[in-house]
Structure 1
Amino acid sequence: MLGKVLDDEGEWQLGERWPRVDPATQRTNLAYWDAALAELDALPLEDLSRAEQINAATFRQIVTTLAEEVRYKTYEAPLNSDSFFWTGLFPRQGGFSDVEAYHRYIARLRDLPRFFAENLANMRAGLARGYSVPRVTLIGREKSLEAYLVAGQDNPFWTPIADMPASIGAADQEALRSAALAAVAEAVVPAYSEVLDFMRNVYLKQARTSLAARDLPDGEAFYQSQIQAYTTLDLTPEEIHKQGLAEVERIQAEMAEVIARTGFEGDLQAFIEFLRTDPRFYAKTPRELLSYSSYVAKRADGKMGEVLGFLPRRRFTILPVPDAIAPFYTSGRGGLNSCLMNTYDLPSRPLFNLPALTLHECAPGHALQAAIAEEAPGEVPRFRRDNYFSGYGEGWGLYTEWLGTRMGVYETPYEDFGRLSYEMWRACRLVIDTGVHYFGWSRDRALAYLGERTALSTHEVTTEVDRYISWPGQALAYKLGEMLIRRKRAEAEAALGTDFDQRYFHDVILGLGSVPLPVLEAELDAWIAAGGPNPYADLPEAA
């Protein structure tokens, strides 16, 4: 979403404008992507080196997805119940390093009215042709705009201004503050006010009442394209639904074993009700929840040398989800610099889920994954380092939740049940996503299916199901990616025996950067066939 430009050293930096998203620009983009795919088709792939074949396969998936998004005009619905085009437009923490970066930031603030107007025009076009996000999944989401209607230093866009480094002189700081205050009052507040009015008085009144992606224009083909985009696998909705049902059955059996370890007398539903209502499992303050997650992250740190051969230098922090989006945001989300933990509605955030969530979002999950993508040795081109495939990235994240059982992270049967509940949550996604978008499930049926099989709170169940309804295909990536990694690990352990070293197995996965799942599978197969070597054996510091 961010408009970017190249600096003098060939690195991307945030520019002075947001990208153009109008239909004419979209058509230009599509022509460019189609031409790029035609050039790729003309290459003699069999003559390329192994590394270049990986590049080609990755590039093809990236460009195909970009082209399909334009072809199906997904830009006409630039939001879902979880993410909106009007959020995430300023840094999560901290400011910028120099005066020029602040000038570009203020210029972007001035560009918001144009950027928002193009998005609203696209959304009107979507409504006109019957393409929109289901209304029920957006109810109340417009409240996330309200924090931006305040002029002055209480506006969220002031955050980077309040954290200017001391290296910027006093006169420059004063000038930047004055310019930012004017931009917030004259551009930011009016732009957000217009979006809020549109959401309340137009979109929420006209958005579709149906749920299934199949109900959209060219819906069946669109849903299949979304499956391929997010999972990078050629699977049908029927195949995914069947796999999901099998995983649900397997995990239920493991849940029964863990319940027995707690000594609880009662069935799964009774145990889930016990977990949802006993106050011992819930934080009393946001700080307590953040502290619990931080403790888990630090315990995992102590095992990281047993998990990976290559460890990055970059570190992450743990922060609360911003108040403006917390009511509708997922439980947590991790990235290069920080992991966000949701402290909104603490009675809906059980502590026994936090070990799995922290492993997934922080380390060895997404934060560490992103750092390795930046720092790992090897000739990985920038377009692969900066890319993110959900099947690969979320598959790794879910895999790390299971990996926590090998790292000794789960200290109680309740935390282990939280892990299984999270795995069940992802398995249910295979069933619910395809159930809603292909088999025509109702929202109530989806809510009941997830609520009866996991220890997620009622708030989380509702937030998650609305996310699946409003974001077709995205939820499928997690379990399918994790299943592939665990399957390959089992094959490696069987084939290599005592020569299997999980550090090298993980180094191969993370050293590739984000790639389509078929590419990951092929590379792991080649690694197994080669005897499971250390991929960084030639480095001086390699163990």
Structure 2
Amino acid sequence: MKQVLALLAGAWMMATAAQAQTADQTLTALTEAEYGWRTQQSPPNEDSPQAEFNLPDVGPAAQAAKLTRWTETLAALDAIDRASLSPAQKVNYAVYRGQIEALLAEQRFRDFEKPLTSDTSFWSDLGYVARSSLKTEADYRGYLAMLRDMPRYFDQNIANMRAGLARGFTPAQITLKGRDIGVAQVAEAKTAEANPFYEPFRHMPANIPAAKQAELRAEVVAAINQSVIPAHAKLLAFLRTEYEPGARTTLAAYDLPDGRAYYASKVREFTTLDLTPEQVHEIGLAEMARIRGRMEQVMRQVGHKGDLASFLTFLRTDPQFYAKTPQELLNRAAWIAKTFDGKADQYFGHLPRRRFAIKPVPDDLAPFYTGGRGGPGIYLVNTYNLPARPLYSLTALTLHESAPGHAFQMPLAAENKDLPAFRRDSYLSVYGEGWALYSEILGEEMGMYETPYDLFGMLSYQAWRASRLVVDTGLHAKGWSREQAQAYLRDNTALSEHEIGTEVDRYIAWPGQALSYYVGQLAILKARRRAETELGEQFDVRAFHDAILALGSVPVSEIERRTDELIAAKGKWVIPD
């Protein structure tokens, strides 16, 4: 009898394993096929500037195909028995399902009819390709093919924008003013050689023979004159005579077609949580009160006798806090980044292989761009309008945008071969921005803030991100005016007037995205505190950071689950070779 029971138990275990394998294989096949297809639908952008130089089809048939594909993919996910998945595949399932749900929501709301925000757009993304490094003749051939395809790609995007215009689905008109500067620079360049898209041909690699270089230069001149300039000239006319004048004059996402449902989908997409705008608003108010208390403590520490408003005025106007030249600002950013390098091994067990460059934000983007932005291989520092770029905030900015923030986390994900491609290469804002914001707080623990003013800069940045919870929901769900949103940032952060203006316009033009930062940071902080409490002396900050960074880019729920794993492993985490 015992032998029979043992055989039955063995058979049950084998059947269970086979079922799990089948479910795992089904999920893998589904994700690999869809993600391979999805990458072909993505144009180059600032994080993937070459992306095979592919300008995808964005016309009506292609948009219908996306809607069908992601609807079918979600149905296929519903058909998988999650209980039969292996532990690793359960994580993949959760991450992947979140991606598909967000993509499907964007398609249903026809986000493709609004392919721009206040500081990003389908045309400015292509500018990153022109500033990237081309190394082989094949690279140059791919680049030339992209230039020749611009008229088709621009025409399709214009048609989509015109459809959005017809139904009132546009960015707010106020956020479009002056944003056509990059289009004008291309359309109105005096010669092909003076055109921004000629840039990769100025200094070509020596491995390409001189005769071939001359041939390629002749081809790019023709492509610029015949394709690039006409496409940009047509777009410029559309923006100035039709799109901006006809764009909606309201601000709120609630005022868009089906606006309440649209904003709810954005709150869900960017927080990965089922929160209402009202709940997010209240979290922001509570966090702002807490941070403001610390800001006032630092203000007293440096001996300021007035109130917080007068201290903020002092910080915004005293010349000691501002660089005199763009190079001085870049040099200071580089010094901060190198200072972190000297501390990295005390807080991280696993470091990325990829290094990053520090460069100024391109001139055509700088007036409307954030103070800096980072990603794989790059940390962009905005040197436009130096009186708007305080040095006391530069340490927090650098930790966020370079290492251990975006230029650290994103390469670690890309280099993690244990993750499927859809987790290595994709970016989930609540995780990526949450980690980068957490990196700013970590700077205090690492001793990166050398003066009380530097520390105040970090606290001001914390207040800035917490205030986004208040301002974004205020603008899009509570009827706030642009001036009301600006006043809130002015009263509660040390941001310059220029930054206050560009930031509020960014929130207006990109509903929900601003919520991801602080919600993600709160999730990581909560996870760390729980790990510290439960592990006690077994807690190792390097193991915690390695465990969280090994996730790639995940919803909040997976940060919590990973913390459970770390606690179960008694605080030990080893990254496989």
TM-score bracket, normalised by the shorter chain, equals over 0.9
What SS is found at the alignment partner of 1:426?
helix
Instruction: Flag the 1:4–1:434 CA change in 2: closer, same or farther, 3 A.
Output: closer
Question: What is the CA deviation profile of residues 437-468 of structure 1, one whole-angstrom value per residue up to 9, with x for unaligned ones?
Answer: 01111111101001111110000000000100
Instruction: Flag the 1:448–1:63 CA change in 2: closer, same or farther, 3 A.
Output: same
In structure 1, the partner of 2:476 is 437
Question: What is the CA deviation profile of residues 35-74 of structure 1, one whole-angstrom value per residue up to 9, with x for unaligned ones?
Answer: 1111111111111111101111111111111111110001
Structure 2 counterpart of 1:452, from 491, 512, 524? 491
In structure 1, the partner of 2:396 is 356
Structure 2 counterpart of 1:57, from 88, 91, 94? 94
- Structure 1 residue 525 corresponds to structure 2 residue 543: no
In structure 2, the partner of 1:505 is 544
Residue 185 of structure 1, CA deviation? 1.3
Tell me the percent identity: 51
What SS is found at the alignment partner of 1:339?
strand
What SS is found at the alignment partner of 1:164?
coil
In structure 2, the partner of 1:484 is 523
Query: For residue 21 of structure 1, what is the amino acid of its counterpart?
Result: V
In structure 2, the partner of 1:175 is 215
Are the counterparts in 1 of residues 325 and 386 from structure 2 also a CA contact under 8 Å? yes
In structure 1, the partner of 2:14 is none
Instruction: Provide the C-alpha distance between the structure 2 equivalents of 1:82 and 1:529, rounded to a whole number of angstroms.
Output: 44
Instruction: Flag the 1:429–1:451 CA change in 2: closer, same or farther, 3 A.
Output: same
Instruction: Provide the C-alpha distance between the structure 1 equivalents of 2:262 and 2:183, rounded to a whole number of angstroms.
Output: 30
Q: How does 1:117-196 map to 2 (within 5 A)?
A: 117-149=155-187, 150=189, 151-196=191-236
Query: For residue 534 of structure 1, what is the amino acid of its counterpart?
Result: W
Name stretches of at least 5 consecutive residues in structure 1 with no aligned partner: 6-10
Instruction: Provide the C-alpha distance between the structure 2 equivalents of 1:159 and 1:267, rounded to a whole number of angstroms.
Output: 50
In structure 2, the partner of 1:110 is 148
Instruction: Provide the C-alpha distance between the structure 1 equivalents of 2:513 and 2:315, rounded to a whole number of angstroms.
Output: 28
Instruction: Provide the C-alpha distance between the structure 1 equivalents of 2:429 and 2:211, rounded to a whole number of angstroms.
Output: 45
Query: For residue 314 of structure 1, what is the amino acid of its counterpart?
Result: R
Instruction: Flag the 1:13–1:143 CA change in 2: closer, same or farther, 3 A.
Output: closer
Structure 1 counterpart of 2:296, from 252, 256, 267? 256
What SS is found at the alignment partner of 2:380?
strand
Q: How does 1:235-250 map to 2 (within 5 A)?
A: 235-250=275-290
The aligned length equals 532
Query: For residue 511 of structure 1, what is the amino acid of its counterpart?
Result: A
Instruction: Flag the 1:14–1:481 CA change in 2: closer, same or farther, 3 A.
Output: closer
Instruction: Provide the C-alpha distance between the structure 2 equivalents of 1:534 and 1:42, rounded to a whole number of angstroms.
Output: 34
Residue 161 of structure 1, CA deviation? 1.9
Residue 405 of structure 1, CA deviation? 0.4
Query: For residue 119 of structure 1, what is the amino acid of its counterpart?
Result: N
Greater alpha carbon shift after TM alignment, 428-437 vs 178-187:
178-187
What SS is found at the alignment partner of 2:340?
helix
Structure 1 counterpart of 2:66, from 3, 25, 29? 29
Are the counterparts in 2 of residues 94 and 163 from structure 1 also a CA contact under 8 Å? no
Greater alpha carbon shift after TM alignment, 83-92 vs 249-258:
83-92
Query: For residue 245 of structure 2, what is the amino acid of its counterpart?
Result: K
What SS is found at the alignment partner of 1:64?
helix
Residue 23 of structure 1, CA deviation? 2.0
Query: For residue 405 of structure 1, what is the amino acid of its counterpart?
Result: E
Instruction: Provide the C-alpha distance between the structure 2 equivalents of 1:516 and 1:162, rounded to a whole number of angstroms.
Output: 43
Instruction: Flag the 1:15–1:490 CA change in 2: closer, same or farther, 3 A.
Output: closer
TM-score between the two structures when normalised by the length of structure 2: 0.90
Name stretches of at least 5 consecutive residues in structure 2 with no aligned partner: 1-37, 43-47
Residue 2 of structure 1, CA deviation? 8.3
Query: For residue 294 of structure 1, what is the amino acid of its counterpart?
Result: A
Residue 12 of structure 1, CA deviation? 12
In structure 2, the partner of 1:88 is 125
Instruction: Provide the C-alpha distance between the structure 2 equivalents of 1:439 and 1:12, rounded to a whole number of angstroms.
Output: 37
Q: Which has the higher contact order (CA 8 A, sep 6+)?
A: 1
In structure 1, the partner of 2:253 is 213
Residue 15 of structure 1, CA deviation? 3.7
Are the counterparts in 2 of residues 211 and 437 from structure 1 also a CA contact under 8 Å? yes
Query: For residue 183 of structure 2, what is the amino acid of its counterpart?
Result: L
Instruction: Provide the C-alpha distance between the structure 2 equivalents of 1:269 and 1:144, rounded to a whole number of angstroms.
Output: 37
Question: What is the CA deviation profile of residues 400-443 of structure 1, one whole-angstrom value per residue up to 9, with x for unaligned ones?
Answer: 00000011110000010000000000000000000110111111
- Structure 1 residue 19 corresponds to structure 2 residue 56: yes
What SS is found at the alignment partner of 1:123?
helix
Question: What is the CA deviation profile of residues 307-345 of structure 1, one whole-angstrom value per residue up to 9, with x for unaligned ones?
Answer: 111112211010000001100011100011110000000
What SS is found at the alignment partner of 1:507?
helix
Question: What is the CA deviation profile of residues 175-206 of structure 1, one whole-angstrom value per residue up to 9, with x for unaligned ones?
Answer: 11111111111111111111111111111111
Residue 16 of structure 1, CA deviation? 5.5
Residue 153 of structure 1, CA deviation? 2.0
TM-score between the two structures when normalised by the length of structure 1: 0.95
* Structure 1 segments of 4+ aligned residues over 6 angstroms from their partners: none
- Structure with greater Cα Rg: 2
Query: For residue 503 of structure 1, what is the amino acid of its counterpart?
Result: R
Residue 275 of structure 1, CA deviation? 0.5
Instruction: Provide the C-alpha distance between the structure 1 equivalents of 2:39 and 2:223, rounded to a whole number of angstroms.
Output: 18
Instruction: Provide the C-alpha distance between the structure 2 equivalents of 1:474 and 1:16, rounded to a whole number of angstroms.
Output: 27
In structure 2, the partner of 1:234 is 274
In structure 2, the partner of 1:75 is 112
Residue 94 of structure 1, CA deviation? 4.3
Question: What is the CA deviation profile of residues 257-279 of structure 1, one whole-angstrom value per residue up to 9, with x for unaligned ones?
Answer: 11111111111100000011100
